[in-house]
Amino acid sequence: MTTDIDAGPRSSIALTGTEFAELDRLIFEDDDWWAMPSADQAALRHRFITAAVAHHLEHNADYRTFAESSGFTLADLGAPGSLVRVPQFPTRMFKRVEVRSVPAADCDVFKSSGTSGTQSMVWRDEPSLERLAGSLRPESDIWRTLYGDIDLDDDGQMVHLGPNRREADGVWISYIMTLVEMFAATRSYVADGVLRLRDVVRDLESALADGKFVCVAGPPVFMAELLRHMSDNSIKLSAGDRMAVITGGGWKKNESTKLDPDRLRSLAMDTFGLASAQQVRDVFNQVELNTAFIECEHHRKHVPPWVEVIVRDPRDLSPVPAGQVGLMSYLDPTARSYPCFLLAEDFGSAETDNCPCGRGGTTVHIDRRMRTSSHHGCALRLAETVRTD
C-alpha cells in the first residue's frame, strides 16, 4: 500500500516557509540549542510542529484521513500544551505502508534491518536528511565537551565500526553512524560483511602515536566485540583525554544478551586508557525518528528543542507525569517527506530541566522495548550479518 500524495485542502495556516526557515537556522546555525529557557523552547516547538502538521495534512492523504478519523483539526493546536492532541502514527505503520508526503522520486528509502523479517521503510528527501545530519553537528555544544578546542579537521581521526555509506545499503543505523564523517577524516572497518578488528587496533595505535584525537564510533555490539578482542589479546591503550567513544543502536536482543551501558563504559575506560567516563557517549535514534538525541557528559540523552516528547500511559495513551515510565512518543517537525509524529514501541521516561550538566530542556531515558515481535532493531540485526576477523 502506498500513501496518496496530493495537494489536499489548503489549511488555515499559510505555509510561507517562515517557520521552516527559522527551524533550519536553529538546527544549522545555533551551536548551543539548550541555552534558551525551557519555556522558549516549548514555544518554538509549538510553532514548528504546528507548521509541520499543516504541511502533512495538506500533502499526505493517509495522514489527513487518520487525523479526520480522530476528530483532529489544526484549530486544536491553538493553546499551549495542545501538542498532545497531534495524531501520531504507530511506528509499526512504517512496516505496512509507504508513508510519504512527497513524491517517491524525491526520496531515498531507509530500512530498519538488513536481514529477513518485517522492516520499517522510511522515505526521506534531501531536506529531511540534511536536518537529521544537523542534529549531529559536531559544532554543537554537547559535542564540544568531548573534544574542546581541538581542530578535528587537522588533528582528528574517526574510526567507524561499521560499513561505509555505499555498503550500508539503506540500513538506517549504518547510515546514521556514517555521519561521523562530518567530524573528521573517517575510515570504516566493516567490509564484505567482516568487522576487521586487527585493522582497528593497528590504526588506533597509529593515530594516537601521531598525536591525533581519535573517536571510535559504532553500535554497542561492535564496540563490545572490539573490547573483547583487545582483552583476549592483552592489548591496552593509553589514550588519556585524546579519545572519545560513541555508540548508537540497540543494547539487547533479550535479557540474556543484554549489554550494560555502565559495564561497557567501564571496559572502555580500562581498555582504551581513558581519563574519564565522560569520554564515552551514546546516541539514541530509531529509523522512524528524524532527530538524534545525544548523551551529555552525565550520560543523560538530551532532546533538541524542536522535538516534543510525550510519554503516554499504554492503557489509554494519556500523558503521564514527568519521570514516570510510559510509552514513548515523538513529534518531530524536521521530516518534510513523511509525518514524523510517532507512537513508538519503547518504554521510557522524560524530564525537564533536571540534568546536572545544566542544559535546559528535555532529557529521556529509554527503558525497554514492548514485547510485541521478534524485531530487534537495525543495530542488532546488523550484528547478526557481520562476522569478525
* Count: domains in the chain: 2
Give me 221's grid cell.
555490539
Does any domain span residue 74? yes
Confidence of residue 388 (pLDDT cuts 50, 70, 90): low
Does any domain span residue 1? no
Say if residue 154's pLDDT is above 80: yes
Closest alpha carbon to 280 in 353, 208, 218: 218
Does any domain span residue 11? no
Minimum mean pLDDT range among 89-103, 160-174, 366-380: 366-380
User: What pLDDT, on a 0 to 100 scale, did the predictor assign at position 319?
Assistant: 97
CATH number (domain holding residue 86): 3.40.50.12780
Structural domain span for residue 290: 131-300+374-388
Q: How far apart are CA 54 and CA 78, in angstroms?
A: 13
User: What pLDDT, on a 0 to 100 scale, did the predictor assign at position 169?
Assistant: 59
Question: Do 258 and 144 share a domain, yes or no?
Answer: yes
Question: Do 281 and 149 share a domain, yes or no?
Answer: yes
Question: Do 350 and 246 share a domain, yes or no?
Answer: no
Q: How far apart are CA 57 and CA 198, in angstroms?
A: 52
CATH number (domain holding residue 222): 3.40.50.980
Please, are residues 191 and 221 in contact by the beta-carbon 8 Å criterion?
Answer: no
Question: Do 308 and 225 share a domain, yes or no?
Answer: no
Does any domain span residue 291? yes
Question: Do 264 and 308 share a domain, yes or no?
Answer: no
User: What pLDDT, on a 0 to 100 scale, did the predictor assign at position 384?
Assistant: 45
Question: Do 268 and 216 share a domain, yes or no?
Answer: yes
* pLDDT tens-place string over residues 66-108: 999 999 999 999 887 899 999 999 999 999 889 999 999 999 9
Confidence of residue 119 (pLDDT cuts 50, 70, 90): confident
Does any domain span residue 29? yes
Half-sphere exposure of 241 (CA within 13 A, CB side): 7
User: What pLDDT, on a 0 to 100 scale, did the predictor assign at position 164?
Assistant: 78
Question: Do 271 and 173 share a domain, yes or no?
Answer: yes
* pLDDT tens-place string over residues 255-275: 445 678 999 999 999 999 999
